[in-house]
């Protein structure tokens, strides 16, 4: 999986998004939720990488982009050790103030490492009134 992620995310082999796409879409369809929210990437990452790796993996899935990255240049998390990741400040802001009162939300991401990214995203989703927040990632 490390080699796959290296090639897909960091070497830009975007065609690899198809490898797990069908299984990821099927997994989402088996979860009772009202809406899907992807973990965002920064504009800097989008410009340097050329694509959003999570949206590529889940291509074809309907989602709402409720969050955005708060800082202009997001530091590459893969360079942080566990302790640094756990002590980072909230990296996201609400991009679309939509009421989620009583709704079940699924956060999707490419990799679950410490869980802190999903924790931060869920924290904001709950402020919009979500009943519960679940997550699905390709790898851990």
pLDDT of 19 reads: 98
The residue that leads in pLDDT, 132 or 80, is 132
Q: Print burial letters for 64-103: b (CB count within 10 Å at least 16), e (below 16).
A: eebbebbeeebeeeeebeeeeeeeeeebbeeeeeeebeeb
pLDDT at 86 over 80: no
Residue 73: pLDDT band by 50, 70, 90 thresholds?
very low
Reported as a pLDDT band with limits 50, 70 and 90, residue 34 is: very high
Element (H, E) at 116: helix 116-127
Q: Which position has the higher pLDDT, 61 or 78?
A: 61
Percentage with pLDDT > 70 across the chain:
89
Q: How many CB atoms lie within 10 A of CB 53?
A: 23
- Tokens (6 digits) for 125: 């989703």
Q: Is the pLDDT of residue 25 over 70?
A: yes
- What is the predicted pLDDT for the residue at 138? 97
- Rounded average pLDDT over 123-130: 97
Q: How far apart are CA 103 and CA 129, in angstroms?
A: 8
Q: How far is CA 13 from CA 46, 73, 127, in A?
A: 14, 23, 36
As a whole number, mean pLDDT of residues 25-31 equals 97
Tell the residue number behind the tokens 């009772």, with chain if given.
32
Q: pLDDT at position 129, please?
A: 96
Q: What's the whole-model pTM score?
A: 0.87
Query: Residue 37 belongs to what H/E stretch?
Result: strand 35-38
Residue 109 has pLDDT above 80, yes or no: yes
């Amino acid at each position: 999986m490390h080699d796959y992620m290296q090639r897909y995310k960091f070497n830009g082999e975007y065609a690899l998004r198809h490898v797990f796409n069908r299984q990821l879409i099927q997994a989402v369809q088996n979860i009772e939720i009202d809406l899907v929210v992807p973990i965002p990437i920064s504009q800097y990452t989008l410009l340097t990488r050329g694509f959003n790796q999570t949206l590529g993996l889940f291509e074809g899935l309907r989602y709402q982009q409720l969050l955005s990255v708060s800082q202009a240049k997001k530091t590459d998390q893969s360079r942080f050790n566990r302790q640094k990741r756990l002590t980072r400040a909230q990296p996201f802001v609400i991009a679309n103030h939509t009421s989620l009162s009583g709704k079940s939300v699924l956060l999707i991401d490419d990799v679950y490492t410490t869980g802190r990214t999903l924790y931060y995203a869920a924290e904001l989703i709950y402020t919009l009134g979500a009943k519960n927040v679940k997550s699905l990632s390709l790898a851990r």
